[in-house]
Amino acid sequence: MDTKMSFMMKCVRELLNNGFSVMLHKKDNLNGYGGWFGTDEGEEEFVVALNHHMGFEIFIHEYCHFLQWKTDRKFWDSSCEHYDTLFDWVENKEATVSEEDLQASLHTILSIEHDCEKRVLKLMELNPVEDFDKDKYIRAVNAYLWSYHINKELRQRPKNPIYSERVLEHMPNTFHTNLDFYLDANNLSPLSKQALLAEYE
């Protein structure tokens, strides 16, 4: 069984061998984000705020985005057209975007992120890592995936961390492998939604 550090070092070597810069910051967030994986030509980068209280979990999430890019390029590339539409609309209050385009973007985001989470859980099953809390991770996954519906509904990002204890305790510890479950906002329970909404106030 790997320690978190030994597992991360294996991943870092693979990322470097594939031409990505790797920046692991001793910060709890980076402009409000825990990390990202970028594939723009000439700016290929893997970035994580390791001092985030779920820094390792963010690391493996971003690493699984790398695996999507590496092993299923067609699927990864298909996300490029619509992925940023919702983000840009939320950030720029002057922007006008049709409901159809917003829905297409939400579908794309949830498709790529849901697939990423499936990869994380499979990876941790095949490569056990010491002290990895699967229950906590799945609760965080549910908070993360459902938050995109709230971002669209409120046209804003959360003001507080959605991985707070007060959110996670109200999230289910069951991950649905069928993407359709997360595409339907009616499947977000009132209690879970209320917990998430508190982080937007």
DSSP state of 193: H
Over 90: is that where the pLDDT of 15 sits? yes
Count of alpha carbons within 13 angstroms of residue 201, beta-carbon side: 6
Q: Which of 130, 114, 135 is nearest to 182 (CA)?
A: 114
Q: What angle do CA 8, 9, 12 make, to 5 degrees?
A: 85
Please answer whether residues 179 and 111 qualify as being in contact, where contact means their C-beta atoms are separated by less than 8 angstroms.
Answer: yes
Over 90: is that where the pLDDT of 19 sits? yes
Over 90: is that where the pLDDT of 12 sits? yes
The strand order across the sheet containing 35-38 reads: 21-25, 45-49, 35-38
Measured CA to CA, the distance from residue 30 to residue 61 in angstroms comes to 16
Over 90: is that where the pLDDT of 31 sits? no
Q: Which of 150, 152, 174 is nearest to 160 (CA)?
A: 150
For the chain, first and last CA: distance in Å?
Answer: 41
Q: What is the pTM of this model?
A: 0.94
Over 90: is that where the pLDDT of 161 sits? no
How far apart, in Å, are the Cα atoms of 70 and each of 14, 20, 121, 125, 193?
A: 11, 12, 18, 20, 34
- 121, 123, 126, 132: CA torsion to nearest 10: -60
pLDDT one-digit tens code per residue, 125-153: 999 999 999 999 999 999 999 999 999 99
Burial class (CB in 10 A: 0-12, 13-18, 19+), 19: exposed
